[in-house]
Amino acid sequence: MNAYRYIAGKIRQGFGTDASSDRMGSVSTTIGMVSVALSIFVIIVAVCVLLGFRKEIRDKTSAFMGTMALVAPGQTPMNEKFPFSDNISFLDRLDSVQGVEGHFRVAYSSGLIKTPDNIYGAHFKGVDSLYNFSFFKDNISSGEIPKFGGRISPDVLMAARLAHRMGYGVGDEITAYFIGEEVKVRKFKIAGLFEAQLENLDNTMILCDIRQVQRINGWEKDEISTIEIMLSGNADIDRKNYEITDLIYEESTDDDPPLFATSVKQIFPNLFDWLNLLDTNVLAILILMITVAGFNMISSLLIILFRNISTIGLLKAMGMTSRGVAKVFRHVALDIVARGLAAGAALAIILCAVQKHFKILTLDPDNYFVKYVPIEFNFIYIAAVVLLSLAAIMVILSLTSGFISRVSPDKTMRAA
């Protein structure tokens, strides 16, 4: 058996929790463990919440506008003035890019909806039967997803908040006015309502048949506003943006419309800036909690050193160097820190799992874009945080080695 570990084990046995053990040592050990457990608990919860917000915001923005979009030069994805043809030579090549789950044709038109009491502005988003409705199916509150195959459909999918403001429900008809060179009037029927709570988009967005929008805008059947690109959840948005931009440059022909790629980070910069601010807050929490745990552990370890000062003197008298004695007590500290980390991590994972499944803690969606505190597990991140915390606390504990080097064997042996 390693001599350092053996001696450390004997020292730990001197600090039990039963009545016959050294009470001061037991209290100091408990304080150290609780401090480390509380710190790692806060850190892991903060990381899981941050990852949860990132996933929710990314999923919602991608559902509304695509993770990425191909747009005409100088235009946004909601362009309704300068359409381009969907006959693009590199679309098949686009789908073969790793991380791309699909692309979808979309057309936009802005209109006004008149009610007996008011007038509301809305963005009509035209999609076809191939569109990815999975997000809207998960967030539909009443009714059903419209079917846009076959004949041109008058059905629409509307945000519940917009419908409630206007006093409409599933099955009601709405009259929309589209103002251009001439005013066009269209009647639609509400097939379903969804809830997403994403800024003002879900207060204005209405999904309808793409052929309706093309007729309203006076476009041909192949003319659209944008091509939405859906990426897998773990795909790096910035990297894929560069890859697709390079693909457009290399694969496009003279017959293709001029297009460029944009991402949800560029479409919703304020949301992702807010997430970056959360990153900074989590980093500050990590540094603060590790520092607090480290210095609390120093206090605990110093108490252990004081209680074992005669042991330190004896080990030095037997020829062990100050570095060797410090190694013995690092093993003692490592045991305390490891138990604290394990307890704190286990408690954090349990409580996060409860929140993820039961959504106990709620939020104001107008301020946080979600109804509840979101949780997302990434055990690679959690393991990295635990190991980083362990390493940082042990580095902080190395400050106690100066105390050991000052212990004189003759004085401690004489005092003992």
Query: Tens digits of per-residue pLDDT, 328-379?
Result: 888 888 888 999 999 999 999 999 999 999 999 998 877 777 889 999 999 9
Confirm if 267 and 61 have CB atoms less than 8 A apart.
Answer: yes
For position 313, what pLDDT does the model report? 76
Residue among 61, 94, 78 at smallest CA distance from 224: 78
> Averaged in consecutive runs of 10 residues, what is the pLDDT profile of the chain (416 residues)?
70 51 65 89 93 89 90 92 93 91 95 88 94 91 92 93 90 93 93 81 87 96 96 91 94 92 91 86 88 84 76 76 79 88 95 95 83 92 92 83 65 52
For position 200, what pLDDT does the model report? 64
For the entire predicted model, the pTM comes to 0.83
For position 23, what pLDDT does the model report? 59
CA distance between the termini of the chain: 28
Report how far residue 50's alpha carbon sits from residue 348's, in angstroms, rounded to the nearest whole number: 14
Residue among 106, 48, 111 at smallest CA distance from 267: 106
**Alpha helix (H) residue ranges in 308-400:** 309-317, 322-358, 365-368, 379-397
Q: Is the dihedral of CA 70, 132, 125, 56 positive or negative?
A: negative
Residues 6 or more apart from 288 whose CB is under 8 A from it? none
- By DSSP bridging, strand 173-179 and strand 223-224 are unpaired
Provide DSSP, 369-380.
SSSB------HH
Angle value at C-alpha 146, between 141 and 147, nearest 5 degrees: 150
**DSSP tag of 223:** E
**DSSP tag of 119:** E
Residue among 282, 387, 378 at smallest CA distance from 334: 387
Q: How many CA atoms lie within 13 A of 201 on its CB side?
A: 20
**CA dihedral defined by 350, 355, 360, 365, rounded to 10 degrees?**
160
For position 241, what pLDDT does the model report? 94
Cα 181 to the chain's mean position, in Å? Answer: 45
For position 322, what pLDDT does the model report? 73
For position 309, what pLDDT does the model report? 76
**DSSP tag of 257:** P
